[in-house]
Structure 1
Amino acid sequence: MPFSVAKELPAEQARNSTDRSVESKAKAPVRKLSVFEFRRSMSFGAKLGLGLAAWGLFVLSWHLFSVSGLADPTLFPSPARVLEAWILLFAEKDFALDVAQSLKRIFSSFGIALAIALPLGIMMGVFTPVGSFFNALVSPFRYLPAPSFVPLLLMWLGTGEEQKVALLVIGVVFFLTTLFMDNTRAVPMELVESSRTLGVKKLNVVWRVVLPSALPSYVDTARQMLAVSWTYLVIAEIVAATDGIGAMMMRAKRFVQVDSIMAGILTIGLLGLLSDLLIRLIYRASFRYLKH
């Protein structure tokens, strides 16, 4: 066989192989993504659209049930009536002051809980003897319902602001401590051992290795537990309270103003959602190196 023909054959075979590969790919069926695809990636617009659709369906179902005659309109007002009551609360009944007072209680109590739980959780997660000692006390208290402390707090602290803040602190501080401990223990031991090999002192390891590594987890834990703090707000404000969202709802109960009570519930939900979004934004801005 001439040398030139022998040289051209492999090139021709390669071209034929490439053509067959392209043709087979073209004939291969396109795999359609299912709605229930495992961890399917979606654009922000698609997620927003689905979220709005869910809320639209919720409000529509609420409206249809309220006008269907199946429920007393006084006890189950329509979304339009609740919206009117919500506007009236802000316009004529100083509801903005109640909201401001509730926000003050939530964030002051949560700040106190963080100041207690974060250093304690770090120490429990880093040093096993410390964890064994305090965990025996902290873990059982997680199972005690915070409202059960109301009678004691009323006797110890009276009916003032201290009692309400203390109840909100008790509602989250034990969970925060345990979760911060778990976040600390999740730091890879390789990082700690490497720093100790390089001669870093124990406290510097905590400050320069453990804390930066676990900080994103701390922030995310605080975000989730802030939602729990909101759930205790009404309980804290229904006992001898003169202001706050819970106090407004108790006043509305006396006059069977269910639309105002629902407006208060929706206000708490909206404030909780906004606080959650705020911490999410802080998280994304502070930890850009993480995959979100």
Structure 2
Amino acid sequence: MPGLMAAVWEQLDFKQPVAPGIKLVLGVVAWVAFVLAWHFAATADGTPSPLFPGPLQVLGALRELFMERGFSSDVLGSLRRIGISFGLAVAIAVPLGVLMGAFPLVSAFFNPLVSAFRYLPAPAFIPLLLMWLGTGDEQKIALLVLGVVWFLITLVSDVVRQVPTDFIETSKTLGASRKVILWTVVVPAALPGIVDTCRQMLAVSWTYLVIAEIVAATDGIGAMMMRARRFVHVDDIMAGIVVIGVLGLLCDLAFRGVHWLAFPYLRQRGR
């Protein structure tokens, strides 16, 4: 332990890269400390509270949900909604964001609209979506799309604007057309940042999931949590939160894996 603390102290400096081994150990220690603090807080009075169950109670609720109550179908339903909605958001935001970032004229037209819609809370559209699309999956997917698409457009356009101007000017000097420059210079240079931006915005989709599934939903993690609320099953609610966190972490790791495999030249640069 003293050796670990000494190694951590040596790396405690501004923008100092952390060794992979130390990063892993610190991550494990952080989670162990969190679970222990949760356990002691839940059992501070000597007996577990039904309104604040400890990690063991939540673990038991997870086992019961998956083994006895068919929670797997709820998880799959939520994953399907996240996958479809985020795919639609990416299909809208990435092309538009690339054009806005590459061509100031396009940005001048769309940016006032995108900037205004960014400040509108997606849940405010629920009454309209219910009237327009009903209570089925279409309404929930539309809400999830509205929750991320405006921010994704803005972030993608910002990434594209960061492409060095020298790349574009050199291509123009060599006689490349706008279309060639866009597809062979701007998009490849911005693609790593776009993938990383999509990874970050996927987390926002997960934060809107429960809101999307509390309205007239018969399946999904959010629907299970609302059923548990009616019967004051706080352990089930916390189990749903844990599942959302784990699924979100797995999605984040998947995006990181894609980024790591798709852009090996960034690893060679030590980035």
TM bracket (short chain)? over 0.9
Q: How many residues align?
A: 261
Determine the C-alpha separation between the residues in 2 that align with 1:72 and 1:129. 61
**Corresponding letter in the other structure for 1:232:** Y
Match of 1:126 in 2: 102
Q: Deviations over 1:41-81 (max 9, x none)?
A: 33212111111111111111111111112997010011100
- 1:197 deviates by 1.1
1:181 and 2:147 aligned: no
Determine the C-alpha separation between the residues in 2 that align with 1:70 and 1:119. 57
- Give the secondary structure class of the aligned counterpart of 1:232: helix
Match of 2:242 in 1: 266
Determine the C-alpha separation between the residues in 2 that align with 1:177 and 1:40. 32
1:88 and 2:56 aligned: no
Q: 200-209 or 41-50, which moves further after superposition?
A: 41-50
Candidates 57, 63, 69, aligned match of 2:33: 57
- Give the secondary structure class of the aligned counterpart of 1:75: coil
Match of 1:218 in 2: 194
Determine the C-alpha separation between the residues in 1 that align with 2:66 and 2:154. 39
| TM-score, scaled relative to structure 2 | 0.93
Alpha-carbon distance change, 204 to 35 in structure 1, aligned in 2, over 3 angstroms: closer
- 1:35 deviates by 5.9
- Give the secondary structure class of the aligned counterpart of 1:289: helix
Report if the CA contact (8 A) 1:146-1:167 is conserved.
yes
1:166 and 2:142 aligned: yes
Consecutive unaligned residues in structure 2, runs of 5 or more:
1-7
Report if the CA contact (8 A) 1:97-1:244 is conserved.
yes
1:46 and 2:44 aligned: no
User: Residues 1-292 of structure 1: matches in 2 within 5 Å?
Assistant: 33-34=9-10, 36-69=12-45, 73-290=49-266, 291-292=270-271
Report if the CA contact (8 A) 2:48-2:54 is conserved.
no
**Corresponding letter in the other structure for 1:139:** S
Report if the CA contact (8 A) 2:101-2:157 is conserved.
yes
**Corresponding letter in the other structure for 1:86:** L
| TM-score, scaled relative to structure 1 | 0.87
Match of 1:29 in 2: none
Q: 220-229 or 33-42, which moves further after superposition?
A: 33-42
Q: Deviations over 1:147-197 (max 9, x none)?
A: 111111111111011000000000000001011111111111111111111
Report if the CA contact (8 A) 1:65-1:71 is conserved.
no
**Corresponding letter in the other structure for 2:252:** D
Match of 1:20 in 2: none
Report if the CA contact (8 A) 1:102-1:233 is conserved.
yes
> Quick check: which has more Rg, 1 or 2?
1
Consecutive unaligned residues in structure 1, runs of 5 or more:
1-31
